[in-house]
Every structure is written in C-alpha cells, then in structure tokens.
Structure 1
Amino acid sequence: MKMRTLLMGAIATTALAPAAFAEGERGRDGDVKILYWQAPSILNPFLSGGTKDVESASLVIEPLARYNETGEMVPFLASEIPTVANGGVAEDLKSITWKIAPGLKWSDGTPFTSADVKFTAEYCMHPEGGCAQGAKFDGVESVEAIDDLTVKVSFDAPKPNPYGPFVGGESPIIQAAQFADCLGAKAPECTEANFNPIGTGPFKVVEFRPNDVITMEANENYRVASKPAFATLTFKGGGDAAAAGRAVLETGEYDYAWNLQLAPDVIAKMEEGGKGVAIAGFGPLVERLEMNLTNPSPDLPAETRSTVAEPHPFLSDLKVRTALSMAIDRELLTEVGYGKAGTPTCNLVPAPALYNSDNTGCLTQDIEGAKALLDEAGWTDSDGDGTRDKDGVKLAILYQTSTNAVRQDFQALIKDWWSQIGVETELRNLDGSVFFGGDPGSPDTFQKFYADVEMYANTFNGTDPQAYLSAYRCGNEPKPSSQWQGENINRFCDPAYDALLDELAKTGDLEKRGEIGRKLNDMITKDTMTIVPLVNRARVSAHSNSLGGIVLNVWDSELWNAADWHRIK
C-alpha cells in the first residue's frame, strides 16, 4: 500500500459510488448465509472487543467513515472526509468537524442526526461504562452537535490524526433514543438494545440468539434504494473452522465463511469441492502470547486480580518472560499452522511497513540460551521434579486460548518447548464465543485473563495504529468498575510509554509517526516481553461461487461492503 501524508490524501473524500452490478429491486436475490465459527454474543461493539461481535454488528450499525480494501478512508454516514484542505479539520489540528449526509434514516424510520453522534461519544466516554473501544476517544475533550447535520469533535491538544472516533467498524454510531437509559454501569443491562440495535446499515435484526444465530432482513430505510440485493441474511455462529470451510467450499450450504484458521493443505483440499473459493490478504493481524503481569490467583479479590497491586509471582520477572519467548520456534509454528498464509514476526504491529520495527531477535529459537537465562535469574529445579522454582514459587503456567485446531497445535508445541527449559504448562481452551464474548459475569473472557498466559490475534481498523497502541495506556485495564471492559489486558503500565503515546498523538509527519510507532511496539514486545508475537497471519475466508461483490478488507470489517453483495446468476 502506498503511504500518504496524514490529512492530505489517505482518504476518498466523496461518497462511495454504486456497485457495478445491474440495478434492481431491493431484496431481489433472496437469502444470503454467513458462517462465523466464533458465534457473536452481543451486537454492541462498545461492550465487546471480539471481532465476531464487531463484524456482525457492522451489518446493522455504521460509523461516519470507514476504510476500504486499500486502507483509504471513505465516507459512509458522512458526506465527505474532513481535512485541513476542505476546512473540516482545524488549522491548529485541535478539532474535526463532520458533515452528515442529508436524508439518512435509522431503520425505524426516524432521522439520523448529529445528536446520535454526540450521544455515542457520551456513551463510550462515560467513566463508569467501561467502553471496549475507549482508546478511539483518547484525547477527546468534547463532542458538540452544531446543527442536525454537523458535529464537532474537539481535542485537548493538536491531533494530526483526528480519525479515531466514529471511524471504522469498531466505532459505529448508536441511536440516542434507543440507548438513552444505558449510560455508564447500566450499559450491560440493556439487553434489548445490545441484542437488537436500531441501525443505518443495509440490514436490521429480526431475531438474535446469542452464541447461535442472527436472523436479519433488508433495511427498508437504507439510503440506497436498490440495496441490499438480499432480502434476508442468516448469520450462523458456532462450530469450528473446518466445518465452516466445508460448508462453503465443499457442500455449498453457506455463502461466506470467516477466519479459516486451518492448515493450508486442508483449505486446498476443501477447494477441490468446487463450490467456492478461499480468499486471503495480509494486514496487521498477529497471533501472539499475552503475558499476565498481575496475580490471577482465585484466592485474591477481583479488584486485586485486575491491577498491578499484586504482581504476578513469576511473570513479573522479565528474564522469565524473555526465556519463554526464546524457547519458541516461530518458523515451525508458521509452517504447521499457516504456510504461505503466515509470516513469523516479533512485532505487534507488522503492517503497514512504516510501523514494522526492525525487530527480528525472536525469530531464532534458543533453548539453551533460555535455560541459561533462567539459571541466571535464580530459577532452578531444586527438588528434581523437572520444574524450576525459586523462593517456593514453581514455574507452572496456565496457558489458555480459544478452541481451534491450529491453536491447539500451537499449544502442544509450545508446551513441549517450555518443558525443555523447565517450565510446567497446563493447557486450557475455551469456546471462542465465550472467550471473546465480553460477558462481565463470565470468568472465562480474555479481558479478565484468569490465567498466566493466553493466546489470540486481533487487529485494528485503518492503517494507523495509534488507537491500537493506546490500548496499553495506564488505566485502560479491564476491572470490575469498568464492567470488565478495557483493552490493556496485561495490566501493563509505564509512564514513559504513555508519554510516547502523547507524542505520537501530536505528531503529523509520517516518518516521525513511524519512528514513534516502532518505539512503542518495541517497548511492549522486545523490551518488556509483555506481548510475545508469534505469526503475522493473513486473513483467510471463503465465499461461494455464486456470491458476487466480495471485496476482502484487512483494514476494517470483512463485511464492510455487504450492501454490495449480490447473487451471480
């Protein structure tokens, strides 16, 4: 992707043109069937960081703008992308003013206005709400509804990249009238709104059965009269990646299957079924290990387990975290799990290239070096049971992830390598619908992190990682008072890191932004091993041969252009 100067060109400033297929009546192509083997558990991305929830919700609720398949910003509910050149971004870079496209309606027929945008900011920024997308609003001082079609976002300092709030599938607009009584601590209690949001997108919810199936129908108030082409949409969740692949590529039972996290030879064999095709694209999606810096002991109260007030009994030792990383053979993991659809990496942000740090030290496995490092740190096998210990503490790890064949293969290999350096490992896998679900009452979510190490992958919208890296700011940790929402699951806190984030926020020069971004990446990877990257994964999905209009997007929701999908006759 060609990098462009911020505010001056990395955007398309006019609304998306209609798709190239023949015009016709809305709903002309019947039903379309989508399969996500990690089932959605909520349709409110502000209460879940899970990709399955963000993407299913994107069919219904939309942002002012989002990113297309090349990473360009394009208007959705806005009439254009604000820039300094067109007057939408202030010369001092301390505010951005969005103009809403006229005539937009919610699916219930009521007008979409700036009041809804302003309310969305209040909802996510509420101090008791625990918004999962809070980093998008980093530095926002106020949001004002100037008139019905104009909203102004002001920042507490110059913001060369002002496109955090209301941009991308992770930051959509919710209806003020529907969510009026759902602010703060009440947010998780609004089941009807969270399961059946009123939206502006091409589809609206008919029935939502959490962790199972969503039935949708075409939004009769959608802004383009001929779209969507499908009258109904069935969004099935659950199962596993292999069953999802077969349902599209071999049997043709479904039209679209997401995240085929399968060995490449398995996918190739499925494609021989002739019913569909696999599609893939590289972006900043990284399979990694997250190290818990706090003590996850069930003997401690929840508030203590969510802060660094009680450091982890052994992962608080940098030499232990480093040794665990050194013992891993990333080349073999990539070969086993992804083949050409993966690249070994030491970086949390491997793309775009501007932000990809020259950090390759982890790529060579070093079992003997890991042993020596643990010896140096005083971790020895004092009782001869094969597990190192120190001051009565055993190097015994609970290592959890979601249920998936590739992830379980990774767990088995990593457990073996860790055993070779004297670390005992218990493996645990959880259903993805639960692990990524964000239920504040569940002990098994990745946000609560009631384990020592956990493994997963996520990514960010667009081509600028500022909000993504801001997740690790002090205070962003999930905790009881935030309804267990928050992106800093490791409970990492470094004032120097926060200061560098502040510098990134006020830096406009792209090369300088790249330099700062790489430093931030290094601080949470090679410098501290808080995050241990493994593989930069391509997004791999599949669609039926009869489904047209598919444009794989690694910079936003894969369902970003579902309004353009149609049946090939």
Structure 2
Amino acid sequence: MRLRNLLSATAAAAALGALAGPALAERGADGQVNIIYWQAVSILNPYLSGGTKDVEGASLVLEPLARYDETGTMVPWLVEEIPTVENGGVSEDLMSITWKLKPGLKWSDGSDVTAADAVFTADYCMDETGGCQQVANYADVASVEAVDDLTIKITFTVPKPVPYGPFVGAQSPILQAAQFADCKGAKAPECTDANFGPIGTGPYVVAEFKPNDVVVYEANPHYREADKPAFGSVLLKGGGDAVSAARSVMETGEFDYAWNMQVEPEILAQMEARGIGKVISAYGTSVERFEVNMTNPDPDLGDLRSTVEGGPHPFLTDPKVTRALSMAIDREILVEAGYGAAGQVTCNVLPAPDLFNSTANDWCKTPDVDGANALLDEAGWVVGSDGVREKDGVKLSLLYQTSTNSVRQGTQALIKQMWQEIGVETELRNISGSVFFGGDPSSPDTFQKLYADVEMFTNNFDGTDPEKYMANWRCSEIPSPKNNWLGGNNPRFCSEEYDALVQTLAGTAKIEERAEIAKQLNDMLMESGAIIPLIHRGRVAAMANTIEGHAMNPWDSELWDIASWSRAK
C-alpha cells in the first residue's frame, strides 16, 4: 500500500454531544489525513511504553471503557454509562465497580468484544513475571471477572472512592485476549506482530507500521458508528524536529496536524501568520522537569548500573545538593526563551487542577544563586582550581540527558550556564525522542534506563484525579532488569512513608482530603530531590485550517476524537 493513500477522522465526543459539527455522511469520504509526530512511534502497545507518542499512536486502534473529554470529564466509550454508587455500578462499600459493555461491539477482525477481553487485559498488565508500564492503573485490584459476556466486575483489596483506574483513559485500553494470549509476562516484548499491529475497537486498523518512522492506518470496517470515520486512512509520520513539523502544517501544508509544538513562540507566530494553519493549545498537567537518579549510573557497574542493587548515587541522594541545583535555576528565563504563553513556572510535579497545586515549594520561583552556593559550602563541597566543586575526591559533575528538540537543547544550554555559577560541571546529551521514549528494553538510551545523572522530559496523566499518577513513584514502580525496565519511578525514589500515603489516598473519599494527601505526596518528591520541576507546559499542536471536529484535549490522548475529524468542504 502506498503511504500517500491514507486518511482519518474521529468520533467520540460527537456521539456524546461534546462536539458540534457537520454530520458525516459516509465512512472514508474525506480521503486521507496526514499527521506528524516528530517523536516517531516505536510500538503500538501502551502497556509496554511510557512514551506519550506511543500511547497516542495506539489510541487510534485500542480503546478504554471510558475516557476523558476536553474538559477533563469522564465519558463512556465502550460502555453505556459511567458506574457510580448512585446508579449501582459501584458497590456501597466501595470495594467493587461493575462496567456494562455496549452490546454488539466488534473487534476490527469482526469477532465479538466480551468481558473476557477485559479480564485478560488486567491479567496481562498485572503479571508479575513481566513488566507493565501502566501497572499503576491497576493498583489495589484483587480480581477482574466476567459476570457475563457484557459485564465486567473489578474487586479491590481496599475501598476505592475513586475506582476508575483500570480501563479508563488512553493509557489503560482493552486488549483482545485472542491476539495476546501467548504474550503474557516475560513474553510480552517478544510478540512483535501483536505489539506492532494490535486488533482494536477504535476507528482505525494498522495497515503498515515501520517502527520509529511511520504508521499507516485504514478505517476499521467494523467500527461501531457506520458513518465514521470520515477519513478513510491516516498517515502518522515520525521523525524530524518540532520546527519542521510545525512548518509542514502551517507553511507547506504537507501535513494536517502536528503534535507537541515545543517550538519558540515567535517562530510559531510567524508560521501561523501565513494563514494555512493555526496553533491550538490547552493546559493540563504536563510538567517539564528533571527526574534525578537516586542510584549510581557509573558504567563500570555493568548490569547493576542505575539499579537499586548498584547502590546509591554518589551525591544526588543529598537533598542539599538537589535543592542547590533547583535554587540556581531561573525558570522565568526558561519560560521566556522556550515557551512564551504556552509555559508557566512551576515548583510541583502535580500543578493542576488548582485544588491539588501545593504552595509549599514556591521558594523555587525565585532563583537564588548566592543561597545555592552557601548551601553547597555548608554541605562540604569545595570549589576546585577548575571551578568545579568536589568533596572526598568526587567532583560535582553531572550527565544531563533529554530528547532531541531545539527548545530542550536551548534549555540545556541555559541550565548548564546557571549550574556553572554554583560550581557544577555539566555534560549535555540529547537522544532521539523516538528512542528516548521508545521503551525498548535492549536500548541503553531510554528514559526508564536513566543511564545519566539527571534527565529532563514531560509527561502527564489521564483525567484530573492524580491517584494513579502519584502511585508511579512507589518503590514497586522502579524500572529494573527484573521488569524489562518498565515502570514510572525513573528516579528510583523509594520511601515506605510515601507508599503508605499513596495507599491512604486510595482509600480517601472527600475531594478536599484527597487534595491535601496528593500535595503531601508531591512535596515529599520535591523535598527528597527526586524531581526538580521547571515548567508547567500547555499542550500545543498545529492544525490545518481545513480540519474540523477536533477539540484539543490535555486530559487524554490528543487524538481522542479522531473518529469525528473531517475536511472542511
């Protein structure tokens, strides 16, 4: 199949009345839509990758029971309604939740979707002999059972006031049991055919996939809405950089949509002035931050490198050092240089919704080079003849890695200068985003492996409740060879107190109390130095003026409504 013969459209919010747009008369009538994710998709199984680009690439095919719309509201997707205590879907004791599938749902191969597929998916992710990037979504799950073909009952080990972790949002979709039956546990990464071409319920099926390059999708002939998608095919191209991706939409018109416009604001404004495309944005929970390696990344450690077994980091486990690193950073300069209106200074990894935004770390908003130097002096780090601090024969020297991107490399250069002012030597490294966020357990360059001292990137979470997101930094979530280097706890932070507080959050019902606990969890990460937040980023994309039916969504997959996309006539 030729790559240029592709097209796509979206349907989720239209069915829910969330989007108002022209009725789509015929599936595939609008031809092909071209999308560019300059961080190319590496795998189409979100359970085996923490990269946003992989989760979103899979979201055209794989769907959850419910997801979040552009306002952050949970909406039914493969089910008739959201279970609650009031409608009987959540038990009075909060120990279980029961979902009812829509009748007549088909996989893209024409077979029936049943509750058994959900049971399998939970078993797949919770299998302790393998690794699952999204296992935090299944926290406190005791069992998942098929009451009948359309009824899924999830029972928890503790009361769950917010029981919407499993099968909700793009990070936790349903897998077809028949396709993945032989792919559980340690075998999961080996199932190339399934991981590269999943059978799904979404508006599209995978027609061709070249990892780290291009995905071609065709309209799903068994999609539940007969008149959707309007686009018969989708070309999802990867590679290049954010600037060239923006240009391909707003200057050349080669593409219709470009994701993650981490581009200097003045450049975007110049492109938008051409009148071909526009910049769209929305604020959610994305934070550009440092994740600080609490373990030793010394290559001499071999297989124990950046593992708990390899021992603690020579100096980054000292909160005085990490606090000094944070104090030396002028975040306003970073925002002004790289983000403009699409960025705000933040001192938290959990910046939104406002109710969950802690003020305990606001000291970071004001840079204090003198204070940082004094703190390092106090900690015994002495400036050597080369201007680099050292202590007990160890130099305060960092390897700072991130993905390849002009804004990120600009940020690296600025922070290197800022850290030089406090006697910190910094080596900069950038890695292709397709590799960095790809989740390949054999690659030394993934953000989960963290073969560096600090790394900088952004991610966020589905929806507005942070329970499963904050669970990412539990001890059990540390990536290691034992779990194929999957897990959300890249800093290797481990605290029994933190883990216990996550459990308390899981059992807390009142929203005000949940907010206080979430802020405590955030503050523990900040105080330990495991995370150094920089910028609360808006989600920014470029879209052709001819595309209709899309609502920018910072709470779920950015392509959440692709079944409803159409071409303006």
TM-score computed with the length of structure 1 as normaliser: 0.96
Residues 1:312 and 1:505: Cα distance change in structure 2 (over 3 Å): same
Q: Is the 8 A contact 2:14 2:20 kept in 1?
A: no
Aligned to 1:248: 249
Shift of 1:79: 1.3
Matched, 1:124 2:128: no
Q: What SS does structure 2 have at the residue aligned with 1:564?
A: coil
Identity over aligned pairs, percent: 62
- 1:118-157 matches, within 5 Å, as 118-157=119-158
Residues 1:265 and 1:540: Cα distance change in structure 2 (over 3 Å): same
Q: Is the 8 A contact 1:19 1:564 kept in 2?
A: no
Q: Is the 8 A contact 2:14 2:21 kept in 1?
A: no
Amino acid aligned to 2:466: P
Aligned to 1:223: 224
Aligned to 1:373: 375
Task: Name which of structure 1's ranges 41-50 and 357-366 shifts more when overlaid on structure 2.
Answer: 357-366
- The Cα RMSD (Å) is 1.3
2: CA distance between counterparts of 1:406 and 1:242?
A: 10
Residues 1:324 and 1:485: Cα distance change in structure 2 (over 3 Å): same
Q: Is the 8 A contact 2:298 2:305 kept in 1?
A: no
Unaligned runs of 5+ residues in structure 1 are 1-11
Aligned to 1:205: 206
Unaligned runs of 5+ residues in structure 2 are 1-11
Amino acid aligned to 1:131: C
1: CA distance between counterparts of 2:13 and 2:341?
A: 35
Amino acid aligned to 1:530: A
Residues 1:13 and 1:69: Cα distance change in structure 2 (over 3 Å): closer
1: CA distance between counterparts of 2:325 and 2:338?
A: 20
Q: What SS does structure 1 have at the residue aligned with 2:308?
A: coil
Amino acid aligned to 2:83: P
Aligned to 1:552: 552
| Residues 33-79 of structure 1: per-residue CA shift (max 9 Å, x gap) | 11000000000000001000000100000000000001110111111
Q: What SS does structure 1 have at the residue aligned with 2:301?
A: coil
- 1:186-197 matches, within 5 Å, as 186-197=187-198
2: CA distance between counterparts of 1:58 and 1:303?
A: 35
1: CA distance between counterparts of 2:513 and 2:199?
A: 41
Q: Is the 8 A contact 1:308 1:491 kept in 2?
A: no
Q: Is the 8 A contact 1:250 1:272 kept in 2?
A: no
Moved over 3 A (4+): 12-15, 17-20
1: CA distance between counterparts of 2:546 and 2:341?
A: 27
Shift of 1:81: 0.5
| Residues 155-210 of structure 1: per-residue CA shift (max 9 Å, x gap) | 10000000000000000011000000000000000000000000000000000000
Shift of 1:500: 0.8
Q: Is the 8 A contact 1:303 1:480 kept in 2?
A: no
Q: What SS does structure 2 have at the residue aligned with 1:434?
A: helix
Residues 1:514 and 1:348: Cα distance change in structure 2 (over 3 Å): same
| Residues 277-328 of structure 1: per-residue CA shift (max 9 Å, x gap) | 1101111110001110000111113245321650000111111111100100
Shift of 1:23: 3.3
| Residues 319-364 of structure 1: per-residue CA shift (max 9 Å, x gap) | 1111100100001111111111111000101110110011311011
Aligned to 2:290: 289
1: CA distance between counterparts of 2:307 and 2:209?
A: 31
Aligned to 2:533: 533
Aligned to 1:523: 524
Shift of 1:523: 0.6
Q: Is the 8 A contact 1:14 1:81 kept in 2?
A: no
2: CA distance between counterparts of 1:510 and 1:231?
A: 43
Amino acid aligned to 2:533: P
- 1:328-367 matches, within 5 Å, as 328-358=329-359, 359-367=361-369
TM-score computed with the length of structure 2 as normaliser: 0.96
Amino acid aligned to 1:448: K
Q: What SS does structure 2 have at the residue aligned with 1:487?
A: coil
Matched, 1:47 2:44: no
Aligned to 1:16: 16
2: CA distance between counterparts of 1:14 and 1:555?
A: 17
Aligned to 2:3: none
Task: Name which of structure 1's ranges 301-310 and 263-272 shifts more when overlaid on structure 2.
Answer: 301-310
Amino acid aligned to 2:253: G
Aligned to 1:414: 415
Aligned to 2:275: 274
Q: What SS does structure 2 have at the residue aligned with 1:301?
A: helix
2: CA distance between counterparts of 1:142 and 1:312?
A: 38
- Greater relative contact order, per chain length (Cα 8 Å cut-off, separation 6+): 2
1: CA distance between counterparts of 2:154 and 2:118?
A: 10
Shift of 1:530: 1.0
2: CA distance between counterparts of 1:15 and 1:304?
A: 50
Aligned to 1:434: 435
Matched, 1:115 2:123: no
Q: Is the 8 A contact 1:94 1:154 kept in 2?
A: yes
Q: What SS does structure 2 have at the residue aligned with 1:489?
A: coil
Aligned to 2:264: 263
- Work out the number of aligned pairs and report it: 556
Q: Is the 8 A contact 1:106 1:200 kept in 2?
A: yes
2: CA distance between counterparts of 1:554 and 1:413?
A: 28
2: CA distance between counterparts of 1:304 and 1:400?
A: 16
Q: What SS does structure 2 have at the residue aligned with 1:471?
A: helix
Q: Is the 8 A contact 1:62 1:173 kept in 2?
A: yes
| Residues 404-426 of structure 1: per-residue CA shift (max 9 Å, x gap) | 01100110011011111111100
Aligned to 2:6: none
Shift of 1:384: 1.1
Aligned to 2:234: 233
2: CA distance between counterparts of 1:354 and 1:137?
A: 25
2: CA distance between counterparts of 1:23 and 1:169?
A: 25
Aligned to 1:562: 562
Shift of 1:19: 5.5
Shift of 1:469: 0.4
Q: Is the 8 A contact 1:37 1:238 kept in 2?
A: yes
Q: Is the 8 A contact 1:279 1:552 kept in 2?
A: yes
1: CA distance between counterparts of 2:402 and 2:355?
A: 30
Amino acid aligned to 2:60: L
Shift of 1:13: 13
- 1:434-473 matches, within 5 Å, as 434-473=435-474
Aligned to 1:8: none
2: CA distance between counterparts of 1:380 and 1:435?
A: 34
